[in-house]
């Protein structure tokens, strides 16, 4: 049936139902080249796979799930760039809603897309439009950029009746304006390894470092200019050296799936920098590849993973399976929307509209088997073929929804739990979404760890002296047992963080009380207003050395608290250097010096000590198992002398009572016993470590603290003193138990028991 005829049928049906008729746009199309014949091929695997077919003929098998579609055409493009001559191949084989065919002679480097025909009736959620070239959801490489002109929208954007604009089909061809998938070779030299060779750092021993592939090396002086901001740049020895000197065990990469920029950003001359707008779940984002060769980003990404693994560093991907770049009913038609809108997305009872639990216009319908298959196939691909070690799931509560409510027995969580590949990797949930009942911190099942925003909020509030009492702080420092001590979960279920990509940097947290997002062009309305920050007496940069010194001390306090807490610490790239975003707490569209790591700070005498302290604290974690426990504290005595694995002390040197926990306090002492740590080492021996006393003092004046005596200790020595700019300048010697020491204003003391 012709395009016009299809629209006439849809229009007639709409008229019968009393809805505005869908009319023909009237745009002219270029002539279509003669069709290329296809052999039947196979329905699995999905996507494009180069292989040897019948009679040893080389070619590529193409397979696309398109439930409800009337027909599917494979479109092959020759030549480089966004254009190229288009040849079409009708996929006539249909198996279990999968359209498939084998095309002889098509090999690696071939650029392609799909056109899918079906009903156009947005009122029922049907948005098929063969004028729109669609990206293969399984494409493993993408060539070109999404520029989002009117031609890439399935509906007419400038229709005079705006209230029904999304129901009027646009017949203009989008092929010249959208990226194409690229056929990738499966057996190249970068495939000569297996995923079992990756590092396997136990969760309790992990220290995560969140970074942006582009921003981390864009200004790095030790990385060759042509490699800066790329996968190859992150793999460069100069970049890896910083990670190893710091001592982190894993990098958590902001999204590297192929993503698109939102139209409202492009209209303002900006781009999506963070990348939380995915459109290709198998393809490494092409703009992060140093090589301009089509499809080379796959090999470059694999080499980056290998280089990090060789340094003992795991690779965790921040993944966005909750929504796609196609947004809502007014968004572009790039892939899933044109393949089967009703099959891939959650729709409202009014099927013209999308159910939006993400704040991004749409939500993937994960309870659908083919959507669940897309996600799990993608995850397994990144593990088994690309070599990554785990995933942080953006807005994971949206993935855990069954039909409407968040359900910890949902199909997605059930499939992950039984999958022989995925249940072995690191799984991190961002345990919330924007829908009703979406806040699920502490609710995810075993196997999962979670971003713990209650840790973030408590630590921020403590150091700006805004907590009403210290109950919350006690839970957060000791592993958040109130949230995670169920179902066999361990303290490392809590990923502790003070800052993340979303929000202030650590330096800005102590320099600004208000967000400054003017550069985003949204009138400073974007970004949260709940920053829980304190500017130490002046808003923004200042020449007041007293304020600047206090800010550096606060940075040391925050980092020391994070790295001495039980759980898995997560740092943000550049926080150990004092990186600033000028007060922006929502730099998602700032691909410039606002977001890039400023490596000159590493040589600045003002900020170098912060890096040295951070690396020292990470080294202490690695050296002392009492600082990275694998089991929750019991708080009970495990020996005849009454020594417990965890004890809390007031500034008087007495153990905390129930009343003390409810009283306002600026000083808190936490004693960790290394005498009886649960578990055994690899040879079955008991784990024994030093014992430590951590004293946190958020008051703005020095305070006395009486050191607990026997059975806790005979003497103590100071290991870390955050009141000192350089730890090497701290006075040596020991302090007898029972004596009162002076704790400087706004500082942390870490004392080791030495007798």
- How many DSSP H helices and E strands does the chain contain? 17, 31
Backbone angles phi, psi at 668, to 5 degrees: -145, 130
Task: List the Cα angle 317/382/40 in 5-degree steps.
Answer: 145
State both tokens at 690. Answer: 């030093």
Exposed e or buried b for every residue in 378-406, given b needs 16+ CB within 10 A?
A: bbbbbbebbbbbbbbbbbbbbbbbeeeeb
Rounded Cα–Cα distance for residues 751 and 607 (Å): 25
How is 406-474 classified by DSSP, letter by letter?
Answer: B-TT-HHHHHHHH-TTGGGSEEEE----SSTT---TT-SPTTEEEEEHHHHHHHHHHHTT--SSSHHHH
Exposed e or buried b for every residue in 613-645, given b needs 16+ CB within 10 A?
A: bbbbbbebbeebbbbbbbbbbeeeeeeeeebbb
Task: Determine which one of 86, 136, 314, 430 is catalytic.
Answer: 430
Contact 291, 297 (CB under 8 A): yes
State both tokens at 29. Answer: 């199309």
Rounded Cα–Cα distance for residues 708 and 669 (Å): 10
Rounded Cα–Cα distance for residues 5 and 441 (Å): 52
Backbone angles phi, psi at 54, to 5 degrees: -60, 145
Q: Any idea what DSSP says for residue 347?
A: B
Reply yes or no on whether 430 is catalytic.
yes
Strand, helix or coil for residue 655: strand
Contact 725, 709 (CB under 8 A): no
Report the run of H or E that residue 336 belongs to, with start and end.
helix 336-344
Which residues does residue 696 pair with via DSSP β-bridges, in sequence order?
A: 668, 748
Count of Cβ atoms closer than 10 Å to residue 712 Cβ = 22
Which residues does residue 347 pair with via DSSP β-bridges, in sequence order?
A: 354
- Name every residue whose Cβ is closer than 8 Å to that of residue 510 and which is 6 or more positions away in sequence: 533, 534, 535, 536, 550, 551, 554, 555, 558
Rounded Cα–Cα distance for residues 745 and 231 (Å): 44
Contact 217, 328 (CB under 8 A): no
Rounded Cα–Cα distance for residues 693 and 708 (Å): 9
Q: Could you tell me if residue 88 is left (phi over 0), alpha (psi between -120 and 50 degrees) or otherwise beta?
A: beta
Rounded Cα–Cα distance for residues 107 and 378 (Å): 22
Cα atoms in the Cβ-side hemisphere of radius 13 Å centred on 113? 33
Rounded Cα–Cα distance for residues 330 and 353 (Å): 10
Contact 371, 364 (CB under 8 A): yes
Task: Determine which one of 173, 394, 645, 660 is catalytic.
Answer: 394
How is 225-280 classified by DSSP, letter by letter?
Answer: GGGTTSHHHHHSHHHHHHHHHHT-SEEEES--EEE---HHHHTTT---SS---EEE
Reply yes or no on whether 173 is catalytic.
no
Q: Which of 747, 745, 642, 658 is nearest to 702 (CA)?
A: 745
Residue whose pair of structure tokens reads 């009913």 in the numeric block: 329
SS3 annotation, 197-240 = HCCCCCHHHCCEEEECHHHHHCCCCCCCHHHCCCHHHHHCHHHH
Active site members = 394, 430
């Amino acid at each position: 049936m012709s395009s016009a005829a299809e629209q006439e049928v849809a229009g007639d049906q709409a008229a019968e139902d009393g809805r505005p008729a869908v009319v023909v746009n009237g745009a002219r199309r270029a002539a279509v080249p003669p069709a290329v014949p296809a052999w039947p091929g196979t329905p699995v695997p999905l996507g494009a796979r180069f292989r040897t077919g019948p009679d040893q003929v080389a070619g590529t098998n193409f397979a696309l799930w398109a439930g409800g579609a009337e027909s599917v055409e494979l479109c092959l493009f020759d030549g480089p760039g966004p254009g190229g001559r288009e040849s079409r191949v009708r996929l006539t084989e249909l198996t279990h809603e999968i359209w498939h065919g084998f095309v002889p002679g098509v090999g690696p480097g071939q650029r392609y897309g799909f056109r899918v025909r079906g009903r156009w009736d947005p009122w029922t959620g049907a948005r098929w439009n063969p004028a729109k070239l669609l990206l293969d959801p399984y494409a493993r490489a993408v060539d070109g950029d999404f520029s989002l002109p009117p031609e890439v929208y399935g509906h007419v954007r400038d229709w005079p009746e705006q209230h029904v604009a999304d129901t009027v089909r646009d017949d203009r061809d989008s092929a010249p304006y959208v990226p194409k998938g690229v056929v990738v070779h499966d057996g190249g030299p970068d495939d000569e390894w297996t995923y079992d060779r990756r590092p396997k750092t136990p969760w309790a021993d992990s220290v995560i470092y969140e970074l942006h592939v582009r921003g981390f090396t864009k200004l790095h002086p030790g990385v060759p200019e042509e490699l800066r901001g790329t996968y190859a740049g992150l793999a460069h020895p100069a970049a890896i050296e910083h990670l190893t000197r710091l001592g982190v065990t894993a990098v958590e990469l902001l999204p590297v799936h192929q993503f698109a920029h939102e139209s409202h950003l492009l209209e303002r001359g900006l781009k999506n920098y963070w990348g939380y707008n995915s459109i290709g779940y198998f393809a490494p984002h092409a703009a992060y590849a140093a090589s301009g060769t089509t499809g080379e980003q796959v090999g470059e990404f694999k080499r980056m993973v290998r280089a990090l693994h060789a340094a003992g560093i795991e690779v965790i991907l921040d993944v966005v399976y909750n929504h796609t770049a196609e947004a809502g009913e007014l968004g572009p038609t790039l892939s899933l929307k044109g393949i089967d809108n009703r099959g891939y997305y959650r729709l409202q009872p009014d099927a013209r509209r999308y159910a939006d639990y993400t704040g991004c216009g749409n939500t993937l319908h994960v309870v659908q088997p083919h959507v669940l298959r897309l996600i799990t196939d993608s995850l397994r691909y990144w593990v088994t073929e690309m070599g990554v070690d785990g995933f942080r799931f953006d807005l994971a509560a949206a993935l855990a929804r069954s039909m409407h409510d968040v359900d910890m027995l949902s199909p997605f969580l059930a499939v992950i739990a039984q999958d022989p590949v995925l249940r072995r990797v690191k799984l991190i949930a961002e345990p919330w979404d924007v829908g009703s009942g979406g806040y699920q911190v502490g609710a995810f099942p075993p196997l999962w760890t979670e971003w713990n925003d209650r840790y973030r909020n408590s630590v921020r509030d403590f150091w700006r002296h805004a907590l009403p009492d210290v109950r919350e702080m006690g839970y957060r420092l000791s592993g958040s047992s109130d949230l995670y001590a169920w179902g066999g979960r361990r303290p490392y279920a809590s990923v502790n963080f003070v800052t993340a990509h979303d929000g202030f940097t650590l330096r800005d947290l102590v320099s600004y009380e208000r967000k400054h997002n003017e550069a985003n062009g949204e009138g400073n309305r974007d970004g949260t207003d709940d920053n829980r920050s304190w500017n130490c007496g002046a808003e923004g940069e200042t020449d007041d050395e007293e304020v600047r010194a206090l800010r550096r001390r606060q940075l040391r306090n925050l980092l020391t608290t994070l790295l001495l807490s039980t759980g898995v610490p997560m740092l943000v790239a550049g926080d150990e250097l004092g990186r600033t975003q000028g007060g922006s707490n929502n730099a998602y569209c700032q691909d410039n010096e606002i977001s890039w790591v400023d490596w000159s700070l590493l040589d600045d005498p003002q900020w170098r000590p912060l890096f040295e302290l951070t690396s020292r604290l990470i080294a202490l974690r690695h050296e002392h198992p009492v600082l990275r426990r694998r089991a929750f504290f019991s708080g009970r005595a495990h020996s005849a002398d009454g020594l417990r694995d965890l004890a809390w002390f007031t500034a008087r040197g007495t153990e905390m009572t129930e009343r003390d926990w409810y009283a306002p306090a600026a000083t808190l002492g936490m004693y960790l016993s290394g005498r009886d740590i649960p578990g055994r080492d690899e040879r079955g021996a008991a784990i024994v470590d030093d014992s430590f006393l951590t004293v946190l003092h958020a008051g703005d004046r020095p305070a006395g603290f009486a050191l607990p005596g026997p059975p806790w200790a005979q003497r103590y020595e100071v290991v870390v003193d955050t009141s000192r700019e350089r730890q090497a300048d701290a006075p040596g010697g020991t302090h007898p138990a029972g004596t009162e020491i002076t704790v400087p204003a706004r500082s942390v003391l870490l004392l080791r028991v030495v007798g």
